[in-house]
A = this chain, B = another copy of it.
Amino acid sequence: MTDTERAIRLMARCDALAVFSDEPGRITRAYGTPALREAQEAVAGWMREAGMDVRRDAVGNLIGRYEGEQPEAPAFLIGGHLDSVRDAGRYDGILGVLAGVAVVERLHAAERRLPFVVEVVAFADEEGLRFHSTYLGSRALAGTLDEETLSLTDDNGVTFGEAIQNFGGDPAAIESARRDPAEFLGFVEPHIEQGPNLEERDLPVGVVDAIVGGSRAEITVEGEAGHAGTVSMARRRDALCAAAELVLAIEGVGRSDPAMVATVGQFEVAPGASNVIPGEVRLTLDLRHPADEPRLRAENQLRELVAEIGARRGVLATWHEVQGYVSTRCDPGLTDRLAAAVSTCGVEPHRLPSGAGHDAVALADLLPVAMLFVRCAGGISHNPAESVDVADVAVACNVLDALVGDLVQSC
C-alpha cells in the first residue's frame, strides 16, 4: 500500500465514522452515547485488523495495543478522541486515532515488532460536550479524575458516574484506568491545526511547541441609561462607549505580542433600545498565550485598564475572574525528535503553538507529550466545513513512521 493509498483509506475511515451521530443530519457525538459506541466498534475492528489487542478501560477509552518484541516493553502512545462538539467536522480528534492505527497497520503488514509496544488510544471524551468539563477520557488515564468529576451532571441530570456505568465502564474502578508513567515512552497527538498558520506557510504539517494557557474574565460596565434626545453628551455615563474603549484596549494588548490572542466574544448591551443610552454592558474576555508570564502580565495590564476606563468615564467597570488554565509546554526531547522526523520527510519543521486545548494537556504531567499539527483548510474547525488534504495526511503518517523509527534507533 502506497503512502497515498494509506492516506486515502484513513480519510475514508473518517467519512465512515461521520455517520455515527447523536443527531440526524450533522455530526455530534457526546460521551456515552450509542453513536460513540458505534464509532468505537468500527475503530476497534480496524485496530484488530492491524494486529492490535483491543480493550476499553474503566471510563470507556478505547485502547489498541500492538505488542513489542518483549512482553515487558514500555509503550509509545499515539492517539486522539472520538467524541465531538455539536455539529462537528470529521477530523478533529479522529485524525489522531486513525493516524495511530495507520502507523501500526504498516508495521503489522511488514510483520515487524519493535523494542517497544505501540498503543493507540481513542479517548472517550475530550470536548466536554455532555458534562461541560474537558479531557474526561485523558484525565482518567492520567489519574486526575476525582470524585467531584464523577458527580458532574448532564443536562438531563444524569451523573458522569452513571453515564460511565451505562457506557459499559466502571465508575467504582475509575482508578484502574490510571496508568503508570513508567509504562510509557511518551505520547504523540496528531491533530488538525484549527488555525491558518500552516496554510499561510504552505506547510503540510507543523510541530507544536506549547499549548496556550488562558485567562478568562467576565467584565461588567454599569453606567446610566437615559433618553437619547435629552441627555447632553457631556452629562452621559454611557456604558457602551466605555465598553467600546475596553474592546479596543483588549485588541491592542492582543496585538502587542504576536503570540498573544485576546478576544471579546460575548457582548450584551442593556436596555438595548435605539433611543435609550446604554446603561449596562456585560462582556467576556478570552486571553491566550503559549507562555504564562506574558499572559498574566497582559491580564494585569487589562485589569488596570478596566479600572482606569471606569474611573475616567464615571462608570462602574468590574472584572469578574473566570477560572483560567496554565500553558502546557510540549516535552522538549520528544518534540525535537518529532521535528527531526518532519525534516526526514522533507518538510521544514515549523514550530507553532496550539491555540486550543488538547488531550496532550491532560497527559503532560504523566509522560512526555508532543503534538503534530496537520494543515486544515482555512483554519476552520468545530464545523462541518473542516477539511484536510490527502497529501497532508500522507505526510503526517510518514512523519509518525519516522518518529517511531527514530525511537527504535535510540532503544
Contact = CB atoms under 8 A, between A and B. Distances in A.
Interface of A: 193-197, 200, 212, 214, 216, 226-235, 238, 240-241, 243-245, 247-248, 251, 254-255, 258, 260-269, 272-278, 284, 286, 288, 354-357, 379, 381-382
A235 B273 CA distance: 33
A341 to B, nearest CB: 23
Contacts of A272: 265-268
A273 to B, nearest CB: 5
A286 B278 contact: no
Contact of A381 (B216, B230, B243, B244): B230
Q: Determine how many copies of this chain the complex contains.
A: 2
Contacts of A262: 233
Contacts of A228: 261, 263, 265, 286, 288, 355
Nearest to A241: B251
Contacts of A288: 228-229
Contact of A195 (B216, B227, B355): B227
A274 B265 contact: yes
A381 B288 CA distance: 45
A243 to B, nearest CB: 8
B269 A229 contact: no
A175 B56 CA distance: 85
14 contacts: A195-B231, A195-B232, A196-B235, A227-B379, A229-B357, A230-B381, A231-B261, A233-B255, A234-B258, A238-B263, A265-B273, A265-B274, A266-B274, A267-B272
